[in-house]
Amino acid sequence: MDGVFLSALLPPLKDLILGRKCRKIGCPVIRDGFGLMFDDGILVMSARPDSPGLWWIGTGKMTELPVPVWSHHLEGAEVIDILQLGADRILHVCFKSGLLYGNSDVTLIFEATGRNTNVILLRNEDSRILACHRKVSARISRYRTVAPGQVYVPPPSSGLSPGFWSSSIELRESIENGDNTPALLYKMLEGVGPVTARALIRQSEIKKKPLIETVMELEKALLEQNFRPWEGPDGPLPIELGEGKPIVDPLSMRMTGESTGIRKDRLETWTAILRKRISVLRRRLSGVMAAIDRLVSPEKYRTWGSLLLSTADNSRKGLKEIELKDWNGCEHKIPLKPFRSLKSNAARFFRKASNTGKEKCNLEEHKRNALNEIESLERSLSVAPDLTVDELEVLLRNHRKKLRVQDDRRRRIEAKALSGDWRYFIGRNARENEEVTFRLGKRGDLWFHARGYPGAHVVLKLDGRTDNPPGEIILEAAVEAARSSGASSGVIPVDYTRVQYVNRRRKGKPGQVVYTREKTVFVDLDKLS
């Protein structure tokens, strides 16, 4: 329900309950809702995230369920005013208390704000919250806290209030520049949601007139309270906009996510996310399959290692490739690591020969995992059209939360610069040490840690370089590790090795590692200071 349609509900709502006394609080047969019973009917408030709404039903339809513990604040109270904040989706129903003792006038606030929909009972004298349908903690929202005992803070405005629409230079310029999208309207105009935004654009196309004129017509109707409730193809509207039919009794309508077009938007968003993930996994799967095809047999690795050891000068470095003949006269074109000697490359091939089986098993496991995830995502894609708005909303919320966690991690650990265009990453705690070593650190990078100290992990990035870092760069990285060790003075031994020789400690906590093939640099902190 858009805020502009809530404005159209105010006049009939005032005729029904203004000056009347609330007899009882009860729970209709809906989830996330309750009803205010008056002499001739019940005002139902639905706080469902997908379909918040108000409607009026007969007195015989109230279900006898346990009433809220705060019901005594409203039972016997008289409705003295009904207000809407601008054109936003926030309704205030003000009550004069029916209690015999004390001044405890209250206001029932209905915030029909999508997934943040809430019903809040407020004490007028100090704006303290007495009860709420949903609690909002500081962990959920940085803007405000909603909980019993807190001072009520209204949600931020959703845009320009009616009266400022036609005079908005930014709105006019955006429309004249061709930005005639629903997103522009519902981000800039208070009370205009996706349903009304699409209807405004459709109406301007049907009438063949500028969009700003259609917006001005809606603004005029809101300011003059000249409503003609209308049922459009996407949902209810305050005036006639596009195709549809008149709404005789707007308070008799029971909104659903399907009728408002919200479910369609959520479904399109969720299916796009699934298809994008499937596409990424298929590319990853093709890379894994190519890696499996490129695997060299253990026998060939051993042959290469033996040939390199049999060369006359196996201490040479700087070669990317070498051609040698085996004992049967067959030519072998052997790829090499330029920064390693032939002897070191031979040792690497012997290790690969023993690890080829394990590497193949790992690749096969990656292949199975990718295929299983693709199959699971395709099942999710096939059942997505049958999901309810609530289920789609939960899936999208979890997806957004996952993306926020990933973004926070990327922003939190930033590369730091050393001289000569070298850079390094450093962890500030156990979790960041884990990230730096096993996610940001790649094969060939250098890993530093102060020996015997529970300090930071430092990873010096090679960034594709084939040569070893100069001694002064290694010393600079070691100094950073020593400074982050927790020691303030003395000579600190700093071990460093390649990232591939660092492994998680078995059954250890995050950040706890074991390493091999290390070298040591001694850093004198007293001289640095």
pLDDT tens per residue across span 22-70: 988 876 556 677 888 888 888 888 887 767 888 888 766 555 555 778 8
Read off the pLDDT of residues 364-373 as tens digits, 9 standing for 90 and up. 999 999 999 9
What is the average pLDDT across 495-507? Answer: 92
Provide the pLDDT for residue 256: 45
Q: At residue 496, does pLDDT exceed 50?
A: yes
Give percent of the chain with pLDDT exceeding 90: 36
* Angstrom distance (rounded) from CA 132 to CA 439: 43
Provide the pLDDT for residue 259: 43
Give percent of the chain with pLDDT exceeding 70: 93
> What is the pLDDT of the chain when averaged over all its residues?
86
Nearest CA to 51 out of 388, 433, 420 is that of 388
Read off the pLDDT of residues 200-232 as tens digits, 9 standing for 90 and up. 998 998 988 899 999 999 999 999 999 999 988
Provide the pLDDT for residue 257: 41
Provide the pLDDT for residue 262: 61
* Angstrom distance (rounded) from CA 390 to CA 81: 33
Provide the pLDDT for residue 17: 93
Q: Could you tell me if 24 and 75 are in contact, meaning their C-beta atoms sit under 8 angstroms apart?
A: yes
Provide the pLDDT for residue 372: 93
When computed from its CA atoms, the radius of gyration of the chain, rounded to whole angstroms, is 34
* Angstrom distance (rounded) from CA 413 to CA 403: 16
* Angstrom distance (rounded) from CA 49 to CA 497: 54
Provide the pLDDT for residue 102: 60
Which segment, 72-81, 178-187, 463-472, is predicted with the most confidence on average? 72-81
Provide the pLDDT for residue 429: 87
The neighbouring-strand residues paired with 46 are 33, 53
Provide the pLDDT for residue 119: 92
Q: At residue 254, does pLDDT exceed 80?
A: no
- How buried is 31 (Cβ within 10 angstroms: 0-12 exposed, 13-18 middle, 19+ buried)? exposed
Provide the pLDDT for residue 106: 93
Least confident of 321-335, 381-395, 416-430: 381-395
Provide the pLDDT confidence category of residue 101 given band limits of 50, 70 and 90: low
Provide the pLDDT confidence category of residue 108 given band limits of 50, 70 and 90: very high
Alpha carbon distances (Å) from 87 to 5, 155, 161, 256, 485: 9, 13, 6, 21, 58
**What is the strand order of the sheet 230-231 is part of?**
236-237, 230-231, 245-246
Provide the pLDDT for residue 317: 85
As a CATH number, domain 3-132 is 2.30.310.10
Provide the pLDDT confidence category of residue 409 given band limits of 50, 70 and 90: low
